Amino acid sequence: MKICYTVDEVRTAVKEWKRQGLSVGFVPTMGYLHEGHRSLMEAARKDNDKVVVSIFVNPMQFGPGEDLETYPRDLEKDSKLCEEVGVDIIFHPEPEEMYKAGFCTYVDMNGLTTELCGKTRPVHFRGVQTVVLKLFNIVTPDRAYFGQKDAQQLAVIKRMVTDLNVGTEIIGCPIIREADGLAKSSRNTYLSDEERRAALILSKSLKLGREAIEAGERDSKKVIDIISQNIATEPLAKIDYVDVVDFATITPVDKITGETLVAIAVYIGKTRLIDNFIVEV
Ligand code: PAF
């Protein structure tokens, strides 16, 4: 496994692989890798001849007052995990390598990014789209792997790839959870013991919402109420949003039909956690 720090190093390696007719799988990450990332890397390993993982805490997708400076980093541990899974290249650029002086081109979207996380994180998706397209242009992968935990991000990337004719297949992978149900996230590391226990309210409340839909409930508002009321029973939890949207377009729906995303963002203390499920009705 090789760690590349520059765009040129990655380009040279991938060019050689492509000359040999090898396929390339890509897992973009911000590092501090956990079992969720491992599942993406394993899927990439299974489907492709070569695997590239990027580890880059992308400043552009953090808003003012968000956790850019404190975002956890551990390249040594990450490298070990990548090595174990059989990753071929880690791309770990400095911000200056990704954003040269004078940088002023962005990928923006009129739909999909205004709801859910877009409401409270207005610059987030522009930063995600821009960096992901840049990474795609550098790595030129056949397939790229994204976790369903960031469901809105997954929908946004799928839309971007369709709209801009990017020749990379986007593969969504299931949420990986702790044994007690908490969705794996690099940000779980911010939680104190008490907060870690309180954070279970996310998956527990979503479960109630899912059960209601499985029992025949189709009214989004009722499902939102069931979830919100349960979250409100946890004193350490503060709701950012509980929403029901069409998964492809990320627009709110009154009636649950088709592929529907039920998504929540909840502050546990100062830490903002997200979780969701998708139903096909
Ligand atoms: O999901 C993430 O970790 C990031 O948003 C991504 C896709 C690596 C872009 O920086």
Question: Taking the domains of the chain in order of start, what are their residue ranges?
Answer: 2-173, 186-273
To which H or E segment does residue 255 belong? none
Q: Do domains 2-173 and 186-273 have the same CATH topology?
A: no
Question: b vs e for 18-33, b when ≥16 Cβ sit within 10 Å of the residue's Cβ?
Answer: eeeeeebbbbbbbbbb
pLDDT tens digit sequence for 206-226: 999 999 999 999 999 999 999
CA distance to 206, 224, 227, 245, 281, per residue, from 257 (Å): 18, 15, 18, 10, 5
Strand, helix or coil for residue 34: coil
What's the confidence (pLDDT) of residue 264? Answer: 98
Strand, helix or coil for residue 223: helix
What's the confidence (pLDDT) of residue 83? Answer: 98
What is the token pair recorded at 245?
């949207």
Q: How far is the CA of 129 from the centre of ligand 1 (A)?
A: 9
What's the confidence (pLDDT) of residue 160? Answer: 98
Query: What is the C-alpha to C-alpha distance for residues 262 and 264, in angstroms, rounded to an integer?
Result: 7
Q: Residue 126 — very low, low, confident or very high, per pLDDT cuts 50/70/90? A: very high
Quick one: fold of 2-173?
Rossmann fold (3.40.50)
Say whether 37 is catalytic. yes
- Average pLDDT of 107-118? 96
pLDDT tens digit sequence for 154-192: 999 999 999 999 999 999 999 999 999 999 999 999 999
Q: How far is the CA of 166 from the centre of ligand 1 (A)?
A: 17
Q: What residue ranges line ligand 1, CB within 6 angstroms?
A: 28-30, 58, 61, 128, 131-132, 150, 153
The answer to whether domain 186-273 has CATH 3.30.70.270 is no
Token pair 């908490």: residue: 182
Q: Look up residue 38 and give its amino acid.
A: R
- Of the chain, the percentage scoring pLDDT greater than 70 comes to 100
pLDDT tens digit sequence for 80-98: 999 999 999 999 999 999 9
What's the confidence (pLDDT) of residue 159? Answer: 98
What's the confidence (pLDDT) of residue 73? Answer: 97
